[in-house]
Amino acid sequence: MASDVKTVLIVDDSSVSRMMVQNHISDQMPDWQFVHASSGVDALEKLKTVTPDLVTLDLNMPEMDGIEAAQRITEVCPTARIAIVTANIQDSMRRKLQGLGIFFVAVVEKPINEAGVRKILFGM
Amino acid sequence: METQEHMVEIGPLCEQVLVTLNLGVIVVDQSLRVLEWNDWMSRHSGIARDTALHRPVLELFPGLSGTRFEAAIQQALLLHQPAILTGSLNRNPLPLYANPANKHDRLHQAIQILPLRHSSEQHFCVIQVSDVSAAFEREAALRRQATLLNDSLQAQSRLMQELEQHNDLLDLQVRERTAQLEELARHLQDVTEAEKSQLARELHDELGSILTAARIDVSWSARKLGDSVPEIQDKLQRVLNNLSEAIQMKRRIIDGMRPTLLTQFGLVEALEFAAGEMADVNGWQLGLDLDAKAQHLPEDISLALFRVAQEALTNAAKYAQATRVDLLLQLDPDEIWFTVADNGVGMTEEARNTPRTHGILGMRQRIVARGGDFELVSVPGKGTRVEVRLPLAAGSGVAPTATPAPEH
Amino acid sequence: MNIVLTELQKETLEEVFNIGMGRAAAALSTLVNEEVKLSIPSVRLMRRKEAALVLGGTSRRVCSITQVLRGEFGADAILIFPEEKSLQLVRLMLGESVDLTFVSEIEREALTEVGNIILNACIGTITNLLEGEFSISLPVFKQGDCVEIMQGATDEQEQVVMLLHIDFSVEKYEISGHVAFVQDVRSYQGFVERIERFIQKAMRS
Ligand SMILES: Nc1ncnc2c1ncn2[C@@H]1O[C@H](COP(=O)(O)OP(=O)(O)O)[C@@H](O)[C@H]1O
Ligand SMILES: [Mg+2]
C-alpha cells in the first residue's frame, strides 16, 4: 500500500550517524524512503522538494542547532513528526525540548539501536 | 619445574601479604560476590572474613545499592574502568570504624575500584580502601588555622580602620577647638576695642566737656580778677595750666584707645600719617605703596591692619635701628596684602620664636582670628618684615557691587 | 605509515567523541545539577607543543586529570579545568566556606574524582563503540600551565599527536574546560583500524 510507504528526513552532521539511523529504521520498515540533510539549513532546503512523514534530528550541530531546526521545520512542514536522536542526554535538555511546545515522537539516545527505533515507530 | 616451585610459594605468601596490609582489600566477581575480604576489612567493618566470603557485597553493605559505589563496581566489571571514590564527595560510603564495637568514629576513606581481568570471560574487581583519617584531621586543623588567621587578619584591618577613623576624628576636634579659640580671641579683641572706644567717647564727651567748661570758667575768673590779688592770680594760672595738661592728657588717652586717625581719615591716610610721624622722629627713609582702594575697608579689618602697623612700626623704632622702613598695602578682589619692612638689625631665630613676647603674638592673633595669614620674616643684619594676608568676605571689599535691580 | 585520515574517518571520530562526551556531560550535569554545554568536537593532527597551545598555552594555570588507555591503541585522555574555577567547583560540591588560595589535598582528591567520573563516561562510551580491549589507568591529577601538563604524557616534545578536543561549560558556575584525547602516531594505526571497522559496520558495507 502506497500510504504505508513513508518518507524519512534524517538530519545529522555526521554521515555515519545518518547511515546508522537509516539502517536501523529500514531493518524494520524496509519500504520506507530516506532523504539526508547534513545540517539544519540543509534540512530546510530539502523541505522545499520533499514532505517527510518523519524527521530525525540531531541536536549538537554547527551553525543551526537542533532546537532551532526543530522550530523552523515545524513552521515549514507542520505535518512532519519529529524524533530527536542525540548524544545530549542531560535532564536539562529534555526539559528544554518539552518547553518548545512541539510534540516530539521520541527523544532517543545516540548511538541509535533497535530499541531506539522501536521507540520512534511506537511514537508514530 | 622451577616455575612450579615458585608458584607454590607465592600462594601462601600472597595470603600473608593480604593479612599484613594496612589497607582494606575486597575482591568481587561478576555477580558482585565477595572472593576476598582481608583482615583489615574484618577489623574495621566488624564482619568476619568467613561471614563475608561468597556473599554479595551489597548484602554486606546494604546502604550502598544504587550509589556511585555500586555503579563504579559495575563500570570496572563491564567496562574495565578504574574509579576513585573520595570520602568527601561520597560521605565516607563504607560503614568502617576504628573500632566497630562503638560506631562513633567512621573512618575517612579513600577508595579505589580497579578492574581485574583474569580471562576474557572472567572479570573481577578489586576494591581497595585506605584510612585517611589522619590526613583528614591534619587538613581540618590546617583549615581551622587558616580560618583563624583569616579572621585575625580581618580583625586587624578592622582595628586599623577604626584607629584611622579615630585619628581623623581627633584631628577634626583639634581643628574645631582651634577655630573656637581663635573666634574667642577675636571676640575678646572686638569687645576690648568696643570698650575702649566707648571709654574714649565718654572721656571725650563727658570728661572733655567738664574740663573744657572748667577751663573756660577759670580763664574767665582769671581775667576778671586781673592783677588785684596776685597770689590768687598765680593759683588760677596754675589751675589753668593743670587743666590744659589734663585736657592734653585726655586727648592722648583717647588717641591711644581709639585710633582717631583711623576713624577720621580712613586706613590709607591714617597709615601715611602714623608712619610719617614715626619716620620723622626716627629719621627713617619712608617708602609707602598704599592702595587707595583700601581707604574704605570694613572697620574691623582697617583696625586690625592699623594695629599691626602700629606695633610693627613701634618695634622697628624700638629695636631695629633701621634707616629705611617700607609699607605696602595691596588690595585684590578677595584679599588684602600688607607688609611692613625695615632694614634694621633683624632678629635671631630664637627671638622670633620666643612666645612670651606679646607684641608679635598680638599681631598674629588679630590676623589669624580673621582667617588671615601672619608671617614674621627676619634675618639678622638684614632687617625684619611683617607680612599679612587677610581674606575679604564677599561684598565687604571695595569691588564694585552689582547694581541693585530697579524697584517697581 | 599513512597518518592522514579520510574525511569520513575524521567525521566519524568526531561523532564517536561527541557521543562519549554526551555521556560525560550528563555525568557532570548530575554532579552539579546544572546544564553542561558542549562545543562541536574537533580532531586535528599536530605537534605536542601546538596541542598545548590549543588547550591554553602557558598563560593560564590549569588543573588536569589524566587517564591513560593502553590496549589495541593507546591514548591519554585529559580533562582540563582552569585552576581557579575548578576550585570553585569542588568547593561548591564540598560545601566549603573557607577561601584558601591553595588546592588542599581534599579538594585535589575531590577534583580528581570528578575528572574520573567525566573521563570514565567518555572513555567507556568510546571503547564500547569501537569494541576494543583496553586497560585504563587510575586518574592522575596535575597542576600547572598547559605546556607543563602536556609534557608529562610522553617524552618526545616534537612528536606528532592526534588531538581530539571538545569544550564544555557550566554557565551557572562560569566553569569551562576541555577534554582532549592525545595519541601518538605509533598507537594511532590501531585506532584508525577500529574506526574503519566501526564505519563498515554502521554502513553495512
Ligand atoms: N623690627 C624689629 N627689629 C629687630 N628686633 C625686633 C623687631 N621687632 C621685634 N623685635 C624683637 O622681638 C622681640 C619681641 O617683640 P614684641 O613681641 O613686639 O615684644 P616687645 O616689643 O613687647 O618686646 C623684641 O624684644 C625684639 O627683641
Ligand atoms: Mg613690641
Q: Which residues contact B2 (CB under 8 A, 6 or more apart)?
A: none
- A41, pLDDT greater than 90: yes
Q: Do chains A and C touch (3 or more CB pairs under 8 A)?
A: yes
Cα C19-C25-C29 angle, rounded to 5 deg: 150
Residues 6+ apart with CB under 8 A from C37: C168, C169, C170, C171
Asked, for residue A89, whether it belongs to a domain, the answer is yes
Number of separate domains in chain A:
1
Nearest 5°: CA angle at C163, between C34 and C191?
A: 105
Residue B165 has φ and ψ, to the nearest 5°, of -60, -45
Helices (H) and strands (E) counted in chain C, each on its own, are: 6, 8
List helix spans (H) across A30-106: 40-46, 66-76, 91-98
> Using CA positions, which residue lies closest to atom 23 of ligand 1?
B357
Among all ligands shown, which has an atom nearest to the Cα of B284?
A: 1
What residues make up the domain containing A44? Answer: 8-122
DSSP string, C109-167: HHHHHHHHHHHHHHHHHHHHHHT--EEEPPPEEEEE-HHHHHHTT-S-TT-EEEEEEEE
With CA atoms as reference, report the closest residue to B314 among B355, B269, B344, B338.
B344
Q: Residue A18's pLDDT band (boundaries 50, 70, 90)?
A: very high
The predicted model scores a pTM of 0.61
Contact (Cβ atoms closer than 8 angstroms) between residue A27 and residue A116: no
Nearest-by-Cβ selection for C105 from B89, B139, B150? B139
A81-86 and A104-109 beta bridge pairing = parallel
Among protein residues, the one with the nearest Cα to ligand 1's atom 16 is: B359
Dmax of chain A from CA atoms? Answer: 41
The residues facing B390 across adjacent strands are: B336
Environment class of B309 (CB within 10 Å of its CB; exposed 0-12, middle 13-18, buried 19+): buried
Q: Give the closest of C93, C106, C135 to B139, CB-based.
A: C106
| Alpha carbon of residue C35 to chain centroid | 19
Quote the pLDDT of residue C1: 46
Contact C179, C163 (CB under 8 A): no
Q: What confidence category does residue A16 fall into, taking pLDDT thresholds of 50, 70 and 90?
A: very high
- CA–CA separation, B113 vs B127, rounded Å? 5
* Cell digits of residue A75: 513552521
pLDDT of res. B406: 40
B135 in contact with C, Cβ within 8 Å = yes
What's the confidence (pLDDT) of residue B377? Answer: 85
pLDDT band at A102 (very low <50, low <70, confident <90, very high): confident
The verdict on a CB contact (< 8 Å) between C14 and A60 is no
Closest CA in chain C for residue B86: C110
Chain C within 8 Å of B82 (Cβ-Cβ)?
A: yes
B254-282: pLDDT as tens digits? 667 656 667 777 899 889 888 988 888 88
Q: In the prediction, which pLDDT does B260 show?
A: 63
Which range among A58-72, C67-81, C174-188 shows the weakest confidence by mean pLDDT?
Answer: C174-188
Among B56, B15, B20, B54, smallest CA distance to B35 is for B54
- Measured between beta carbons, which residues in chain C are less than 8 angstroms from residue B79? 120, 124, 127-128
CA distance C194 to chain A (A): 14
Determine the distance separating the centroid of ligand 2 and the alpha carbon of C189, expressed in angstroms.
109
Please report the pLDDT score of residue C103 as a whole number: 66
φ/ψ region of C33 (left if φ > 0, alpha if ψ in -120 to 50, else beta) reads left
Nearby residues of B221 by Cβ (< 8 Å), 6 or more positions away: B236
Cβ of A87 within 8 Å of Cβ of C129? The answer is no
User: Of A24-33, B53-62, B166-175, C123-132, which gets the smallest average pLDDT?
Assistant: C123-132
Greatest alpha-carbon span in chain B: 179
Can you give the CATH number for the domain in which A55 is found?
A: 3.40.50.2300
Nearest CA in chain A to C197: A16
Q: For residue B138, how far is its CA from the centre of ligand 2 (angstroms)? A: 80
Element (H, E) at B130: strand B123-131
**From the CA of B257, how far away is ligand 1's center (Å)?**
22
Task: Give the side-chain half-sphere CA count within 13 A for A23.
Answer: 16
C-beta of residue C65 within 8 angstroms of C-beta of residue C141: yes
Q: Which residues 6+ apart lie within 8 Å of B179 measured at CB? A: none
CA gap B366, C58 in Å, rounded: 71
Ligand 1 atom showing the smallest separation from residue B357 Cα:
17
Peptide bond into A111 cis (omega under 30): yes
Residue that the C-alpha cell 594496612 belongs to: B22
C-alpha cell at B114: 580497579
Q: List C-alpha distances in Å: C4 to B62, B195, B204, C10, C192.
A: 53, 112, 123, 9, 10
Residue C159 pLDDT class (50, 70, 90 cuts): low
Return the ∠ at Cα B361 (arms to B359 and B367), rounded to 5°. Answer: 105
Cell numbers representing residue B98 in the block:
576504628
Residues with CB under 6 A from ligand 1: B 315-316, 319-320, 342, 344-347, 351, 357-360, 384
CA gap A39, A10 in Å, rounded: 10
Q: pLDDT tens-digit profile of C54-111? A: 887 778 888 999 999 888 778 889 998 888 777 777 777 776 655 556 667 788 888 8
A92 to chain C, any CB pair closer than 8 A? The answer is yes
* Three-state secondary structure call for residue A1: coil
| pLDDT, position C100 | 58
Q: Which residues of A touch C19 (CB under 8 A)?
A: 87, 110-111
**Confidence (pLDDT) at B298:** 86
Higher-confidence residue: B237 or C41? B237
The pairs formed by C4-8 with CB atoms below 8 angstroms and a separation of 24 or more are C5/C43, C5/C45, C5/C192, C8/A15, C8/A16, C8/C199
- The CATH fold of domain C7-203: Chemotaxis protein chec (3.40.1550)
**Range list of H helices, chain A:** 15-28, 40-46, 66-76, 91-98, 114-123
Closest CA relative to residue C194, chosen from C41, C73, C105: C73
Max CA pair span of chain C? 60
B115 within 8 A of B123, measured Cβ to Cβ: yes
Q: Is A3 within a domain?
A: no
Q: With contacts defined as CB-CB under 8 Å, which chain B residues touch C112?
A: 84, 86
Specify if A116 maps to a domain.
yes
The answer, yes or no, to whether B and C have at least 3 beta-carbon pairs within 8 Å is yes
Residue type present at position A73? I
Contact at 8 Å (CB) between B24 and B61?
A: no
CA distance B152 to chain C (A): 14
Residue B272 to residue B290: CA distance in whole angstroms = 8
Most confident of A38-52, B290-304, C10-24, C121-135: A38-52
For cell 618526545, the residue is C156
Query: Which of B88, B112, B114 lies at the smallest CB-CB distance from C110?
Result: B88
CB contact under 8 A, A60 and C129: no
pLDDT along chain B (408 residues), means of 10: 54 88 94 95 95 95 90 90 89 91 88 87 92 85 84 91 92 88 83 75 74 85 88 90 86 68 81 85 91 86 90 91 94 91 90 73 86 88 92 60 38
- Compare all CA atoms of chain C with the CA of A38 and give the residue at the minimum distance: C11
The answer to whether the Cβ–Cβ distance between C109 and B110 falls below 8 Å is: yes
Kindly state whether C98 is in contact with chain B, defined as any CB-CB distance less than 8 angstroms.
yes
Count other Cβ atoms within 10 Å, centred on residue A40: 25
Hey, are the CB atoms on A14 and C12 less than 8 Å from each other? yes
Which residues of B fall within a CB distance of 8 Å from C130?
Answer: none
pLDDT at C156: 57
- The reply to whether B134 touches chain C by the CB within 8 Å rule is no
A22 and C CB contact within 8 Å: no
Residue A59 falls within a domain, yes or no? yes
B140-194 tens-digit pLDDT = 888 788 888 888 999 999 999 999 999 999 999 988 888 888 888 888 887 887 7
**What dihedral angle (degrees, nearest 10) is formed by the CA atoms of C191, C18, C146, C7?**
50
Query: Cα(C80)–Cα(C62) distance, rounded to whole angstroms?
Result: 7
Q: Distance between CA atoms of B255 and B264, rounded to whole angstroms?
A: 11
Residue whose cell numbers read 567525521: C11
For residue A53, tell me if it sits in a domain.
yes
B339 grid coordinates: 607688609
**Could you tell me which chain A residue has the CA closest to the CA of C34?**
A92
SS3 assignment, position A56: strand
Helix, strand, or coil (residue C59): coil
Question: Quick check: is A97 in a domain?
Answer: yes
Rounded CA gap, B158 and B171, in Å?
A: 20
Closest CA to B267 of B304, B230, B306: B306
Contact between B94 and B80 (Cβ < 8 Å)? no
Whether residue A2 is contained in a domain is answered as no
pLDDT value at residue B202: 74
Q: Which domains does chain B have, with CATH numbers?
A: 3-131 (3.30.450.20), 266-391 (3.30.565.10)
d(CA B34, CA B51) in angstroms, rounded, equals 10
Q: Are C35 and A111 an interchain contact pair (Cβ–Cβ within 8 Å)?
A: no
pLDDT bracket for residue C145 (50, 70, 90): confident
Which of ligand 1's atoms lies nearest the C-alpha of B362?
17
Q: Is the model more confident about C4 or about B102?
A: B102
Asked whether residue A1 is assigned to any structural domain, the reply reads: no
| CA–CA min distance B68, chain C (Å) | 10
**Closest Cα in chain A, distance from residue C43 (Å):** 14
Q: How confident is the model at residue A89 (pLDDT cuts 50, 70, 90)?
A: confident
- Reading across the β-sheet that carries B24-28, which strands appear in turn? B34-37, B24-28, B123-131, B109-117, B83-86
What's the confidence (pLDDT) of residue B290?
94
Q: How far is the CA of B359 from the centre of ligand 2 (A)?
A: 4
Q: Which candidate from C104, C116, C135 shows the least CB-CB separation from B84? A: C116
